[in-house]
Amino acid sequence: MKLLEGRVALVTGAGGGIGRDFALAFGAAGAAVVVNDIGTSVHGEGSDAGPAEKVANEIRATGGKALANTESVADWESANRIVQSALDAFGRIDVVVNNAGILRDRFFFNMSVEEWRAVIDVHLNGAFYVSRAAAPHFRSQQSGCYVHMTSTSGLVGNLGQANYSAAKLGIVGLSKSIALDMQRYHVRSNCIAPFAYSRMIGSIPTETADQQARVEKLKSMETAKIAPLAVFLASGEAKDVSGQIFAVRANELFLMSQNRPLRSVHRAGGWTPASIAAHGMPALRAGFYPLERSQDVFSWDPV
């Protein structure tokens, strides 16, 4: 048997890039795949049924089972229709991959409310809507798996991406809550932070030498390198893996840290602003994180 034989996987944003590679890998592993993609631009504009149908055809051409779906994840009713399409076509749903996303990059002091809402709606609200729509089915069948795409832009930081960073870090909190709340039903939830050159990454400005160097480095990282981890997480081989954050960068696989206390300081009788300045903050300062971006932390060339 193939690793995902008999399972049904829903992959959002699967019309291209990382999502397409996920859908193809799930199909090759034996899963029936719902290929969801509204077919917008990287900024969330327009719609096109072509990308989702093309990927579904690629899976079917190799003997797999696939259904194209062009509903939006950013709306509660349409998210429910996406999940229902899996049930109607294949009779069940076993895996949800929350990959759909858009970018509206702009420095925080220039970011509009619309740019903020658009990115939050697709990434964070979309992940919640689709996950929540699948939850009753996972609960009733006492099994299921969520794979959510996060980003080091949220885990570490990046310039000009307050909306995207907030959404991606919010997804980490969502995933952990799902893992805790649904553990009793044998449902797992994990995050992947991908490093790969995709359509979204291709929209990064290349006006400065630093930006150009970053994009050239990203071009060496293939989107297909991310898919094996997603297939593993969706399989029975990962039955004891939940609530974790992974990152994949070319041939490197990382387990990312989660927030825990680093240092502590105690003062009998409590603190005042003055004693915090004189004693508390100097004692904690050695544990401060520098104001770094993702590329500062992952500063070496991909392996």
Q: Is the pLDDT of residue 45 over 90?
A: no
pLDDT tens for each residue of 157-203: 999 999 999 999 999 999 999 999 999 999 999 999 999 866 555 55
Q: How far apart are the first and last CA of the chain?
A: 32
What's the one-letter identity of residue 186?
H
pLDDT tens for each residue of 83-105: 999 999 999 999 999 999 999 99
Q: Is the pLDDT of residue 46 over 90?
A: no
**Averaged pLDDT of the chain:** 93
Give 143-154 as a DSSP string.
-EEEEEE--HHH
149 is written with which tokens? 């795409």
Q: How many CB atoms lie within 10 A of CB 160?
A: 18
pLDDT (0 to 100) of residue 200: 55
pLDDT (0 to 100) of residue 134: 98
Question: What class has domain 8-255?
Answer: alpha beta
Active site residues: 164
pLDDT (0 to 100) of residue 303: 83
The CA-CA-CA angle for residues 143, 146, 150, to 5°, reads 165
pLDDT (0 to 100) of residue 42: 61
Q: Is the pLDDT of residue 300 over 90?
A: no
d(CA 178, CA 166) in angstroms, rounded, equals 18
pLDDT (0 to 100) of residue 39: 84
Per-domain residue ranges of the chain: 8-255
